[in-house]
Amino acid sequence: MSEKQENYKHLIRVANTDLKGEKQILFALKKINGVGISFANAALSLAGVDKTKKAGHLTDAEAKKIEDVIINPQKNNVPSWMYNRRKDIETGDDIHILSGDLKFTSDQDKKRMQKTKSYKGLRLAAGLPVRGQRTKSNFRRGKGKGLGVKRKK
């Protein structure tokens, strides 16, 4: 067996997420909640890892570097406009949230909007679109079966 086949890993663990070894590392990082293509691209550039390299061929040191950049983007000079939570409500800081914390924070934001009875909160509670879309012909799934004319029996 060659050197490359010996060091190949089918699963690699980065930021508490299992990544498939056969994918390119740029696309494998998308599996981490809170990391998209542009953030993954920036993280790989700052970590000095080739974007086309398969995730299974990463060394432990490279995986550590990538994980450090993803978990601590402020320390690794990732631009603040790439963070997924800028001007946080509680602290006012620019932060980047990952995995379970992202889901929890999103749910808390929705609950806060519903509690303050903002327009967006009321629309979320009713299961209607929030961003100004028209609802005459679309979004019919969540409204129930009260459409159309009923026949006499």
Q: Quick one: which of 124, 64, 71 has its CA closest to 102?
A: 71
- For the question of whether the overall pTM of this predicted structure is more than 0.85, the answer is no
Per-domain boundaries in the chain: 3-82, 99-132
Q: How does pLDDT run along the chain (153 residues), one tens digit per residue?
A: 555 567 888 999 988 889 999 999 999 999 999 999 999 999 999 999 999 999 999 999 999 999 999 999 989 989 999 998 888 888 889 889 898 889 999 999 999 999 999 999 999 998 889 998 988 888 877 666 655 667 777
Kindly give, in sequence order, each residue whose CB lies less than 8 Å from that of residue 76, ignoring residues fewer than 6 positions away. Answer: 43, 46, 68, 69
Number of H helices, E strands in the chain: 6, 2
Q: Quick one: which of 113, 40, 53, 115 has its CA closest to 82?
A: 40
Residues 118, 119, 124, 126: is their CA dihedral positive or negative? Answer: positive
CA–CA gap between residue 146 and residue 71 (Å, rounded): 48
Kindly give, in sequence order, each residue whose CB lies less than 8 Å from that of residue 10, ignoring residues fewer than 6 positions away. Answer: 20, 21, 22, 56
**What pLDDT is stored for residue 88 in this prediction?**
85
End-to-end CA distance of the chain: 76
CATH 1.10.645.10 given to domain 3-82:
no
**What pLDDT is stored for residue 50 in this prediction?**
93
**What pLDDT is stored for residue 28 in this prediction?**
93
